[in-house]
Structure 1
């Protein structure tokens, strides 16, 4: 009888793709084609190809929040405004999979989500790349063929020389600051539904009351936490009262709810609406969430 371990070892390799290529052109299909020509039995999972163009932080967040739920495999991410420059192409090993993409900070949160970085190589072996590498399409000519070879079982060390993990490019850490009456946090991402994900972990919301106040945090980003500790700041002219709930339906239709999202972060949502539009916020906006204060006018709120 064939053991479950043996059956698992015979399963086709997995390659996932996360890009900002969109769906109107042939870029995604070209990457699929390169992978399947090298490994016809490989399974390809398309995470998304609708990352906003060049938005490395959004791409990294989507990747990190998705890969723990994918089968172990090789995860390619391409959000690469520096393509063709001296930025490196890299492959990163983790206990639960391999990440392939540009060295621009895109991959590192996903590496942590897969158990932590255990090694890194620069993709320089010409035998692993397309015969002619385009200066503007490394997804097709570099990352796809490398991913296929790794998913077929080739050793990572053959892709190129080892590099110091400390030399990898890292994105600036999103701002999160705990305050006596709540917290200040940067908007990390806005999803397809308009839900506003903050960089704050969900446990910062737990001790706050059933209704909280949300307002923009103004001033110098590097100093705002210190200044906020001395007392309330000018909230930029508006403040919203928000239901502190568990899910969208805990607020009336059209009303805001602050909740823990599926990634374990604080999120602001509108029951049946678009929170980012209602609050006029975008990734990088700083918001203060607190448990007391006076409600004023906000975008979309009647006086």
Structure 2
């Protein structure tokens, strides 16, 4: 399977006249001042920009979860600059990068966090390493590149500065990419890797929703009885339902419950989905 990102977004003419937009997706949490510091840098450098907080509750250092949330969200945001920071390698030799796409810019660490979102925005048209000193904070902390590298770069891009000014060009083929999640067809259905688990405990699989179409109404997920349905209320409270989620992927939920707890799974596990 080449990609699990949602379909590419296309730039829309009206987005260009609504002013600059910046989005933030991080694992910083809300208990400290990290998010506020990033907002402050953006406000000082690009006061006209409007900032959308996608989430700051990505599990710490969970790059795969951050990549999935980012890729499934950016197509629905205004064309702008999308900053993502889930960065366990901050301060190491990993690169900071800026990516151009038909649907906007992406800024963050080169650790696999950005490529799926870039594909969702139409594909990478240019990439640079963020090294130009004049684009960064006067003093760059080794442990807070969100504030000192990524936010300053995003502000300048939002104001119209060309990406090429942020640093030397990077071959997009050299960017770090996450392993392709497991998806295989079986005689009885398919087996797919758990891609993410959302706030409600719904389990999203790395499988396109069309794979459900060839299965009967009664199915089994990891050996448990389930129904192939359209929404949660298609089954009684406490029962499993397999459905096409809002990202166009197969997901499993429990009506009025948490599928992740019932199935006892976590991201990276591979679940079989078969005719019941």
TM value normalised by structure 2: 0.94
Cα distance change, pair 76–7 in 1 and its aligned pair in 2 (3 A): closer
- 1:184 matches 2:184: no
- 1:207 matches 2:210: no
Give 1:11 shift: 2.9
- 1:14 matches 2:21: yes
Whole-Å Cα distance in 1 between the matches of residues 51 and 14 of structure 2?
19
Deviation sequence 1:251-286 (CA, Å, 0-9, x none): 101110000000000000000101001110000011
- 1:221-236 counterparts in 2 under 5 A? none
Whole-Å Cα distance in 2 between the matches of residues 116 and 211 of structure 1?
38
- 1:249 matches 2:233: yes
Give 1:179 shift: 1.4
Structure 1: runs of 5 or more not aligned: 216-238, 293-303
Partner residue of 2:265 out of 281, 284, 292? 281
Cα distance change, pair 171–7 in 1 and its aligned pair in 2 (3 A): closer
- 1:40 matches 2:47: yes
- Residue 226 (structure 1) aligns with: none
Partner residue of 1:165 out of 166, 172, 195? 172
1:246 aligns to what SS in structure 2? Answer: coil
Alpha-carbon contact 1:178-1:204 (below 8 Å) kept: no
Whole-Å Cα distance in 2 between the matches of residues 287 and 6 of structure 1?
42
Whole-Å Cα distance in 1 between the matches of residues 66 and 210 of structure 2?
24
Give 1:93 shift: 0.6
Structure possessing the higher relative contact order (Cα contacts under 8 Å, 6 or more residues apart) = 2
- Residue 52 (structure 1) aligns with: 59
Cα distance change, pair 23–205 in 1 and its aligned pair in 2 (3 A): same
Alpha-carbon contact 2:202-2:251 (below 8 Å) kept: yes
2:246 aligns to what SS in structure 1? Answer: coil
Deviation sequence 1:3-36 (CA, Å, 0-9, x none): xx99865532000000000000000000000001
Whole-Å Cα distance in 2 between the matches of residues 6 and 252 of structure 1?
45
Whole-Å Cα distance in 2 between the matches of residues 104 and 291 of structure 1?
38
| Greater gyration radius | 1
Partner residue of 2:82 out of 71, 75, 78? 75
Deviation sequence 1:218-272 (CA, Å, 0-9, x none): xxxxxxxxxxxxxxxxxxxxx2010110000001011100000000000000001
1:199 aligns to what SS in structure 2? Answer: strand
TM value normalised by structure 1: 0.86
- 1:271 matches 2:255: yes
Alpha-carbon contact 2:16-2:79 (below 8 Å) kept: no
- Residue 131 (structure 1) aligns with: 138
Whole-Å Cα distance in 1 between the matches of residues 224 and 238 of structure 2?
13
1:206 aligns to what SS in structure 2? Answer: helix
Whole-Å Cα distance in 2 between the matches of residues 267 and 45 of structure 1?
26
- Residue 218 (structure 1) aligns with: none
